[in-house]
């Protein structure tokens, strides 16, 4: 299979709650311009474009059509990908397949979300709108514990079940969720593209934020951000000509579970903290990348953590540590930027979340760490191989991308 | 299939949400122009074409359209259709009366502007007719300020 | 293109109202297809779902479709555009060598919706077109129809003839939603105007429908079927959104998409080499317009082609022998159904609408106003 490299990354200048100064296509175009600047490429170099976002959050449909002029797409193949939280990485994977299929050489992935224009809770609740409607029609109370009023896809109600289950099984406590959230907000303070930053964040400070739904506190929850990320991928032949620095894609994988896993439509059928797709997808990615012992071979990890406990939970699921071990690594400081297994030096999704970009930013942040271009939030250890994790759907999708500092040997 | 329609629950519960669309710098300039009964466009620094309403990018040239230009109020009806239906909230309903919708060219380099055309029998409409902008009595920088075009 | 990809089977369904749920439709199509092929869901390496959140009324519309599609704990992704693009993505995944089989399932249910055009209203720019409320899918198509007719001096009667041919074909096709027999051009001309010159029967009907298709690598395809249909070429392109800046009487993005697909397939003279075309013409005028862009009809000769019967099932270049999108247009699934219809023809299984010799076929799908975005497949046996 052909080797594929990430050769350009462009973010909007900021990721914030509200971009009042730009419309959707204008905001996207900022990231497109930055990706061209970063890579030294021009629109003429791009063979195809992948466009990803979750349009129900803004109440817009098929924005790639009316943003076509702003994303250097005219005359090119454009593919729209939308898979919920994993959208950004699913779009990047589509770009990867555009290239490894041999059909295209240079592909640009455009992802964005402008949450401020719509109601994100409405967007999340929209995942189960038909079920809520049917329950209302049957006279079932959807606001109580037995219902789904607070649940939605990745919203705090449903997630609290996942977090409780995780704590019960792992031996971690709510204080560990506070601590990991604090670590990520501190990391975010060093990342110019992060949204919620607090250089002084501590577990104690997070512990003082209100409890939303046990054990999830306000300080454990991601914000809704306005922002866009663009990433340019190229085949090995083109990458050699186009960019003097690159991060190489060694493997991509994804796995989905059934939506009834971990939601309450028919009662809890499966443990929402089981996250079998993370186990399957990560194993498949390691196999594809030829990685035998991820604990030894992977230097850096970006976890999709809409909620802070997920950093710890998914580290275990993807085999970066033993089950129940993540909070111990946290206690020892090993997950810090200076640690043995640095995680989410970017601040993670819990600090910055414009949904279409969230899973993509996990990959671009891994790429920056590998290229040594993460600036203030560059981790101390050398990063040769990194893993990016994406999560979404009704708690059921996982995507994995493994990057390295050199092309994979055939 | 085999099931009858009655076998399914078909809830009809209306949902109304408010969205706050930011219109950006270019559309703001367009609507600000409306306050003075001006029609603004933006010119591409590459192909020199003018987009009406103005926007940031010319996708053909991949260039920023950073020059704002005021367009004449009179132009040519280049293409039109007579509507016998209206689409309201995704439903097709018959129109009370047939109405004209036209694509108007205000400058030979400008894009065609879609607008209602009034003041003539729809059956009399011909491509090439000269038409002029008709504004609402009160203009306030709203999309509806430029009410329609009428024969010049 | 290194390696080959084949279509090994399909299931499709459409009706004005299927009286079903998306989940059930997905299950019936995919399970039925697996049964047809004598395989199980674990034999499918990757699944591409194609649906639209706005259409389905669900954020992340695939969340409840993965299970019914048989993708539980397996590899799945979703595209959100016409189904021809989903086929192309599936082909890419197989060409990567990582997967041997790919299931594509697309569905769109607008026929049974109370507001079947709503999702298109939302697919306009939020900061302008949705505010002015002037532009929509139907009136932009009417503007396109008028400039197309004017360009060659055709009368509106041509639209009636095109629609009559399509509806005549659709009436004989068991998979179509709008099956009305005995509709000639006079009946078409008697249907009510939507936006002049387009009348009701010149336009696609909102439709419930879906299609599942299994694609496979060459080696696997030969194990699964005796009648593989090969994907020989693929091409896609998009043009600007703004109808006031487009050459509506031509479709440059379709021409580009077709050129790319032909180049990949080694088709040099499409007019002579292609045996039939299944074109996502949502409105009557788009059938000759898009066929011209794809080099299947000579420009300016549409009237002669339709009147002489060249475009009919028995003609020189049959266009939409299934009846095309005028016989049913389940958004997302529509282009996939065009592909499936082309496969039926190439396998010689198209029943009353079977064209004579069928070795090379073209299938086309579109998204956006006035076919802003187009995808073309060249298929062969």
CATH entry, C5-114+207-224, from 3.30.590.20, 3.40.47.10, 3.50.50.60, 3.30.499.10: 3.40.47.10
Of A334, A312, A308, residue with least CA distance to A323 = A312
- In angstroms, the CA C204 to CA C202 distance is 7
Distance in angstroms between the alpha carbons of the first and the last residue of chain B: 59
Cβ pair B8:C19 closer than 8 A? yes
pLDDT in the model for residue C2: 57
Condensed to tens digits (0 to 9), the pLDDT of residues A295-309 reads 999 999 999 999 999
Query: Cα distance from B35 to chain A (closest Cα, Å)?
Result: 20
Q: Over 50: is that where the pLDDT of B2 sits?
A: no
- Whether chain B has a CB inside 8 Å of the CB on C117: the answer is yes
- How far lies A266's CA from each of A146, A269, A389, in Å? 10, 7, 28
Which two three-digit tokens encode residue B18? 């408010």
For chain B, say whether C132 makes contact (Cβ under 8 Å).
yes
- DSSP line for A243-281: -S--EEEEEEEEEE--TTTT-SBTB--S-TTT-HHHHHH
Outline where A189-246 has alpha helix (H): 203-207, 236-242
pLDDT attached to residue A147? 40
Query: Which chain B residue has the Cα nearest residue C197?
Result: B81
Residue in B with minimal Cα distance to A132: B11
Q: Do B15 and A129 touch (CB under 8 A)?
A: yes
The string of pLDDT tens digits covering residues A17-55 is 999 999 999 999 999 999 999 999 999 999 999 999 998
Span C201-217, pLDDT tens digits: 999 999 999 999 999 99
pLDDT reading at A136 higher than 80: no
* B53, B84, B98 ranked by CB distance to C128: nearest: B53
Type and span of the H or E element at C208: strand C208-217
What CA–CA distance (Å, rounded) separates B13 from B8? 15
Extents of the domains making up chain A: 4-119+224-404
The mean pLDDT value for A200-227 works out to 94
Return the exposure string of C347-356: e unless at least 16 CB atoms fall within 10 Å of the residue's CB, then b: beebeebbbe
Q: Are A6 and A236 in contact (CB under 8 A)?
A: no
- d(Cα A59, Cα C111) in Å, to the nearest integer? 22
Q: Tell me the average pLDDT across B20-39.
A: 96
- The full DSSP string for C140-156 is HHHHHHHHHHHHHT--T
Residue A182: both structure tokens together: 């604090």
Which residues of chain C have a pLDDT value below 70? 1-2
Distance (Å) from the alpha carbon of A115 to chain B's nearest alpha carbon: 10
Task: Give the N- to C-terminal CA distance of chain A in Å, as an integer.
Answer: 7
Show me where the domains of chain C are located: 5-114+207-224
- Between residues C171 and B89, the one the model is more confident about: C171
A220, pLDDT greater than 50: yes
Across A155-161, average pLDDT: 76
Which chain B residue has its CA at the smallest distance from C110's CA?
B90
| Cα–Cα distance for residue pair A106/A7, rounded to 1 Å | 9
C57 touches chain B (CB under 8 A): no
Task: Estimate to the nearest angstrom the gap between the alpha carbon of A79 and the chain centroid.
Answer: 20
Indicate if the pLDDT at residue A118 is higher than 90. Answer: no
A4-119+224-404 belongs to which CATH class?
Answer: alpha beta
Instruction: Name which of B11, B59, B81, B106 to mutate to probe chain C: the one with the most chain C Cβ atoms within 10 A of its Cβ.
Output: B81
What pLDDT is attached to residue A142? 60
How many H-runs (helices) and E-runs (strands) does chain A carry? 15, 11
For chain B, domain boundaries: 21-151
CB A229 within 8 A of CB A10: yes
For residue A107, list chain C residues with Cβ-Cβ distance below 8 A: none
Q: Give the torsion sign (CA, C339, C345, C348, C352).
A: positive
- Rounded average pLDDT over B93-98: 96
State the nearest Cα–Cα gap between B152 and chain C, in angstroms: 21
Tell me the average pLDDT across A132-146. Answer: 62
Is ipTM over 0.95? yes
C42: phi then psi, degrees, rounded to nearest 5: -75, -10
Q: Pick from A43, A74, A117: which is nearest to B22 by CB?
A: A117
What's the Cα-to-Cα distance from B38 to each of A221, A355, B74, rounded to whole Å?
47, 39, 12
Of the listed ranges A118-127, B71-80, C283-292, the one predicted with least confidence: A118-127
Q: Is the dihedral of CA B48, B51, B56, B62 positive or negative?
A: negative
Query: Cα–Cα distances in Å, from C105 out to A335, A410, C330?
Result: 42, 33, 13
pLDDT for the residue numbered C27: 97
A62-76, A266-280, A320-334: lowest mean pLDDT where? A266-280
Query: Can you name the residues that pair with C230 across neighbouring β-strands?
Result: C6, C380
Residues C66 and A259 sit within 8 Å (Cβ to Cβ): yes
Residue B1: predicted pLDDT: 40
Give the number of other CB atoms < 10 A from CB of residue C189: 17
E-strand ranges in C255-333 read 276-278
pLDDT in tens, C164-198: 999 999 999 999 999 999 999 999 999 999 999 99
Kindly report the number of other CB atoms within 10 A of residue A141's CB atom: 11
- What 3 state SS string does A296-336 have? HHCCEEECCCCECHHHHHHHHHCCCCCCCCHHHHHHCCCCC
Q: Where does the pLDDT of residue A262 fall: very low under 50, low under 70, confident under 90, or very high at 90 and above?
A: very low
Answer yes or no: are the C-beta atoms of A311 and A348 closer than 8 Å. yes
User: Which pLDDT score, from 0 to 100, does residue A269 have?
Assistant: 55
- What number of C-beta contacts closer than 8 Å exist between A and C? 193
Segment A176-204, tens digit of pLDDT:
999 999 999 999 999 999 999 999 999 99
**Closest CA–CA distance from residue C7 to any residue of chain B (Å):** 26
Chains that touch B (3 or more CB pairs under 8 A): A, C
**Dihedral sign from CA coordinates of C109, C110, C112, C114:** positive
d(CA A368, CA B2): 56
Query: Which member of A66, A73, A396 has the closest CB to residue C125?
Result: A66
Neighboring chain C residues of A153 at a CB cutoff of 8 Å? 59-60, 63
């Amino acid at each position: 299979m052909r080797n594929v490299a990430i050769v350009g990354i462009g973010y909007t200048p900021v990721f914030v709650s509200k971009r009042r100064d730009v419309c959707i296509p204008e905001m996207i175009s900022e990231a497109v311009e930055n990706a061209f600047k970063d890579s030294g490429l021009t629109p003429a170099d791009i063979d195809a474009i992948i466009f990803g976002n979750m349009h129900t959050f803004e109440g817009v449909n098929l924005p790639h059509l009316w943003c076509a002029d702003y994303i250097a797409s005219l005359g090119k193949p454009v593919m729209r990908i939308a898979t919920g939280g994993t959208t950004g990485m699913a779009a990047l994977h589509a770009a990867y397949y555009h290239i490894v299929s041999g059909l295209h050489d240079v592909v640009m992935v455009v992802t964005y979300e402008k949450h401020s224009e719509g109601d994100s809770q409405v967007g999340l609740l929209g995942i189960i709108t038909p079920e809520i409607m049917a329950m209302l029609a049957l006279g079932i109370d959807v606001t109580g514990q037995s219902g789904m009023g607070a649940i939605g896809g990745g919203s705090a109600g449903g997630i609290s079940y996942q977090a409780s289950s995780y704590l019960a099984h792992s031996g971690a406590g709510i204080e560990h969720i506070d601590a990991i959230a604090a670590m990520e907000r501190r990391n975010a303070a060093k990342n110019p593209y992060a949204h919620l930053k607090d250089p002084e964040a501590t577990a104690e400070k997070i512990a003082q934020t209100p409890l939303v739904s046990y054990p999830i506190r306000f300080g454990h929850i991601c914000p809704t951000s306005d922002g866009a990320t663009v990433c340019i991928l190229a085949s090995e032949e083109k990458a050699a000509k186009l960019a003097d620095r690159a991060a190489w894609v060694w493997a991509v994988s994804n796995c989905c579970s059934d939506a009834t896993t971990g939601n309450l439509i028919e009662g809890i059928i499966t443990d929402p903290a089981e996250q079998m797709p993370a186990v399957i997808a990560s194993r498949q990615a390691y196999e594809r990348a030829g990685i035998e012992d991820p604990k030894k071979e992977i230097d850096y990890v970006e976890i999709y953590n809409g909620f802070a406990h997920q950093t710890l939970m998914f580290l275990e699921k993807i085999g970066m540590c033993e089950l129940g071990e993540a909070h111990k690594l946290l206690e020892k400081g090993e997950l810090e930027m200076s640690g043995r297994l640095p995680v989410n030096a970017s601040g993670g999704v819990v600090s910055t979340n414009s949904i279409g970009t969230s899973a993509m930013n996990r990959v671009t942040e891994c790429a920056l760490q590998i290229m040594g271009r993460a600036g203030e939030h560059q981790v101390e250890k050398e990063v040769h191989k990194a893993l990016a994790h994406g999560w979404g759907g009704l708690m059921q999708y996982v995507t994995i991308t493994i990057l390295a500092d050199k092309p994979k040997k055939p | 299939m085999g099931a009858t329609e009655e076998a399914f629950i078909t809830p009809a519960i209306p949902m109304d949400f408010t969205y706050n669309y930011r219109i950006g710098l270019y559309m703001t300039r367009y609507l600000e122009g409306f306050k003075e009964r001006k029609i603004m466009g933006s010119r591409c620094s590459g192909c020199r074409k003018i987009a009406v309403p103005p926007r940031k990018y010319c996708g053909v040239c991949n260039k920023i359209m950073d020059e704002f230009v005021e367009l004449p109020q009179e132009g040519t009806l280049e293409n039109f259709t007579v509507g016998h239906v209206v689409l309201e909230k995704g439903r097709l309903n018959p129109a009370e009366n047939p109405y004209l919708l036209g694509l108007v060219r205000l400058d030979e380099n400008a894009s065609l502007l879609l607008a209602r055309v009034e003041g003539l029998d729809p059956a009399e409409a011909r491509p090439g007719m000269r038409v002029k902008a008709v504004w609402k009595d009160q203009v306030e920088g709203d999309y509806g300020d430029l009410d329609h075009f009428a024969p010049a | 293109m290194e390696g080959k990809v084949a279509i090994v089977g399909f299931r499709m369904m459409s009706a004005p109202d299927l009286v079903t749920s998306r989940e059930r439709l997905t299950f019936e199509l995919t399970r039925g297809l697996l049964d047809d092929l004598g395989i199980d869901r674990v034999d499918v390496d990757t699944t591409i779902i194609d649906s639209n959140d706005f259409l389905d009324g669900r954020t992340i519309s695939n969340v409840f479709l993965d299970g019914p599609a048989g993708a539980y704990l397996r590899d799945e992704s979703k595209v959100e555009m016409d189904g021809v693009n989903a086929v192309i993505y599936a082909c890419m995944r197989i060409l990567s060598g990582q997967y041997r089989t790919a299931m594509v399932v697309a569905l769109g249910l607008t026929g049974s919706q109370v507001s079947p055009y709503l999702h298109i209203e939302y697919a306009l720019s939020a900061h302008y077109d949705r505010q002015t409320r002037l532009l929509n899918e139907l009136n932009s198509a009417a503007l396109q129809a008028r400039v197309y007719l004017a360009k060659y001096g055709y009368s509106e009667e041509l639209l009636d003839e095109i629609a009559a041919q399509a509806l005549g074909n659709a009436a004989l096709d068991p998979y179509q939603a709008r099956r009305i027999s005995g509709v000639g051009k006079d009946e078409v001309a008697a249907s009510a105007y939507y936006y002049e010159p387009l009348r009701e029967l010149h336009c696609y009907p909102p439709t419930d429908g879906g299609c599942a298709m299994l694609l496979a690598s060459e080696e696997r395809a030969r194990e699964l079927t005796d009648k593989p249909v090969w994907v020989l070429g693929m091409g896609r392109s998009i043009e600007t959104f703004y109808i006031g800046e487009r050459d509506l009487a031509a479709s440059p993005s379709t021409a580009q998409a077709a050129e790319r697909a032909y180049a990949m397939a080694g088709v040099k003279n499409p007019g002579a080499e292609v045996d039939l075309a299944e074109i996502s013409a949502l409105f009557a005028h788009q059938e000759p317009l898009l066929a011209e862009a794809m080099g299947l009809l000579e420009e300016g000769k549409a009237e002669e082609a339709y009147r002489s019967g060249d475009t009919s099932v028995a003609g020189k270049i049959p266009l939409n022998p299934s009846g095309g999108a005028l016989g049913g247009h389940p958004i997302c699934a529509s282009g996939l159904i065009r592909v499936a219809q082309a496969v039926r023809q190439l396998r010689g299984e198209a029943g009353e609408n079977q064209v004579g010799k069928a070795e090379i076929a073209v299938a086309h799908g579109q998204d956006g106003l006035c076919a802003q975005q187009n995808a073309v497949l060249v298929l062969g046996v």
